[in-house]
Amino acid sequence: MGITLKDLLALGRVNPQDSAESFNMAYLAARGCARVNAVSRLHGRVSRQLFQALFPRWPTDEVPIGHVTNGVHTPTWDSPAADDLWTKACGRDRWRETTESLEHRIRAVADSTLWQLRNTSRKAMIEYARARLARDLLASGASTDEVQGTSRIFDPNILTLGFARRFAAYKRPNLLLHDPERLLHLLTDAQRPVQLVLAGKAHPADDAGQSLIRQWIQFIRHTAARQHVIFLSDYDMLLTERLVQGADLWVNTPRRPWEASGTSGMKVLVNGGINLSELDGWWAEAFTPEVGWALGDGEEHGDDPAQDAAEAEALYELLENKIVPEFYTRDEQGIPVAWVARMRKSMAQLTARFSANRVVREYAEQYCIPAAKAYCDRATGNGSAAVPIVAWQHRLAQAWSALRFGEMGIQTAGGEHIFTLKVHLNGLDPVDVSVEIYDNGLGADAPIRQEMQPARQLKNSTSPPRVSGARLRRSSGFGLHSAYCAEEWRCPDTN
Ligand SMILES: *Cc1c(COP(=O)(O)O)cnc(C)c1O
């Protein structure tokens, strides 16, 4: 690249001069990119804080990191039965269409058809899980009895929960295990039993993750849970595919805001699975009460054990009082009407929205095409657009140190404030600069940034140019922060 190692490393630091600062790959990437984006709305907010240091004195909300929420490649994750249902309802172009048209047509599918899909998919997944467990047991040298016993595990008519992911501590894979007695009660209820299929792996060096897996294995070995819980090893995409096709309910319990997006929950949508998840990552923007269930209060609490306990309690309560009853309340045809209604809304409203189709379109429209256009603009005429920019930078660099603000006037009437400001331009043309007024907002008020309009300058006047006419209106409290006061101005880097 024609740069020294020292210069390369400097690009990965907040302070390029500080050789003691460790090298950060994400900083290097951000400095080398035309645009930066996060992978969910909440992740965007978190990322603007994480990268704030690269944009000193910028308001956090304006750190230039947007978001494109992840989506999954729908045809990869749908079961043959789900694909059949969608093709009949929406035609062969089902995954190429917009959210709106799909939504409309899934609404017209009969309850019995949707419920049939669920029953078929659950049964297929259970058969696969039994066979896979038998294979695992055989490989670990279990007795013939034990291996044959796998054919009696699980029941294809029971509410089936799926939980499969990397066992990393922030995902709290043992939140459901918080009160083992209560979980056991839930699983083994005589009238309304529940079964749970778990899969996952932890990084070999992640002792905490390994220990979380051991806790589950012990729970399964030493209790009456054995018929109701399966742990499958060697979690990979093939296993994910089977689980997301068959689970009625997909459970996700990360510690907010650590789940950047999460994608496994999106994989169940096309198959009619319903999500029960912490309001984190994609679910923080996808959740509405009609499409699934939410955990947590939408706030961050760190790794406070009291909060984990409260959320475990909420998880059990949701399952006991809302989810299990909804699954087992049937009409005269044996259809759980409220469950199917939720399933339909989740399929209709979320499948296309959290698909790769929408993602690719957003990347193209918001990122790739504007970046390509900007490149063409720069490249036109052999980069001639750069000439006035460089001249402007030189003018600015020379005048900058003596630029200053003069007095500011405020007129207030009816909750509206009109600001006028004198600016000593040190010989610059008023069009060389722009002056903005910035209100940080009080409490829940969003910040306001507004460009001030140059007032007409009198010919031959000796008084400095004035800037006027910025109007700010606030319904409630009003706080003007002089974050951009004169002494904090620095000359932009002209290199
Ligand atoms: C989808 C998928 C993931 C991501 O799962 P999350 O629950 O979103 O973390 C991880 N591993 C495999 C094999 C997957 O298919």
The region that residue 272 occupies, defined by phi over 0 for left and psi between -120 and 50 for alpha, beta otherwise, is left
Query: What are the CA-CA distances from residue 125 to residues 154, 182, 230, 303 (Å)?
Result: 11, 26, 12, 34
- Cβ atoms of 476 and 415 within 8 Å: the answer is no
Gap between the Cα atoms of 99 and 440, Å rounded: 36
Query: What are the CA-CA distances from residue 375 to residues 36, 364, 368, 369, 493 (Å)?
Result: 16, 15, 10, 10, 21
Distance from Cα 450 to the centre of ligand 1, integer Å: 43
Mean of the pLDDT values across residues 463-475?
Answer: 59
Name the range with the highest mean pLDDT among 239-253, 452-466, 470-484. 239-253
Tens of pLDDT, residues 234-285: 899 999 999 999 999 999 999 999 999 999 999 999 999 999 999 999 999 9
In this structure, what token pair is assigned to residue 276? 């029960």
Give CATH for domain 74-355: 3.40.50.2000
> Comparing C-alpha atoms, which of 33, 36, 31 is closest to residue 67?
36
Distance of CA 141 to the CA centre of its chain: 42
The bridge status of strand 229-232 relative to strand 249-252 is: unpaired
Distance from Cα 266 to the centre of ligand 1, integer Å: 10
> Comparing C-alpha atoms, which of 434, 128, 277, 203 is closest to residue 264?
277
pLDDT at 487: 35
Gap between the Cα atoms of 445 and 448, Å rounded: 9
Ligand 1 neighbourhood includes 262 CB (under 6 angstroms): yes
Higher pLDDT, 129 or 467: 129
| DSSP letters spanning 399-452 | HGGG-EEEEEEEEEETTEEEEEEEEE-TT--GGG---EEEE--STTPPPEEEEP
Which of 251, 255, 264, 278 has most ligand 1 atoms within 8 Å of its beta carbon, as the pocket-test mutant? 264
Ligand 1 neighbourhood includes 171 CB (under 6 angstroms): no
Residue 128 CB-half CA count within 13 A: 18
Ligand 1 neighbourhood includes 200 CB (under 6 angstroms): no
Distance of CA 263 to the CA centre of its chain: 9
Ligand 1 neighbourhood includes 257 CB (under 6 angstroms): no
The long-range contacts involving 235-238, CB below 8 angstroms and separated by at least 24 positions, are 235/164, 235/165, 235/166, 235/199, 235/200, 235/201
Distance from Cα 392 to the centre of ligand 1, integer Å: 50
Domain with CATH 3.40.50.2000 in the chain: 74-355
Close Cβ partners of 296 (under 8 Å, ≥ 6 residues apart): 256, 278, 279, 280, 311, 314
Comparing 42-51, 89-98, 192-201, 306-315, the range with the smallest average pLDDT is 89-98
Tens of pLDDT, residues 19-64: 999 999 999 999 989 899 999 999 999 999 999 999 988 888 889 9
> Comparing C-alpha atoms, which of 118, 110, 78 is closest to residue 94?
78
Which of 74, 166, 258 has most ligand 1 atoms within 8 Å of its beta carbon, as the pocket-test mutant? 166
Distance from Cα 278 to the centre of ligand 1, integer Å: 16
Tens of pLDDT, residues 353-377: 999 999 999 999 999 999 999 999 9
Tokens 């959290």, residue located: 354
Tens of pLDDT, residues 178-218: 999 999 999 999 999 999 999 998 888 999 889 999 999 99
Q: What is the DSSP letter of 355?
A: B
How buried is 21 (Cβ within 10 angstroms: 0-12 exposed, 13-18 middle, 19+ buried)? middle
Which of 167, 239, 263, 276 has most ligand 1 atoms within 8 Å of its beta carbon, as the pocket-test mutant? 263
In this structure, what token pair is assigned to residue 494? 């002209």
In this structure, what token pair is assigned to residue 101? 């048209």
Q: For atom 15 of ligand 1, which residue has the closest CA?
A: 237
Distance from Cα 165 to the centre of ligand 1, integer Å: 6
Q: Which atom of ligand 1 is nearest to the CA of 164?
A: 7
Q: For atom 1 of ligand 1, which residue has the closest CA?
A: 264
Beta bridge partners of 250: 162, 275
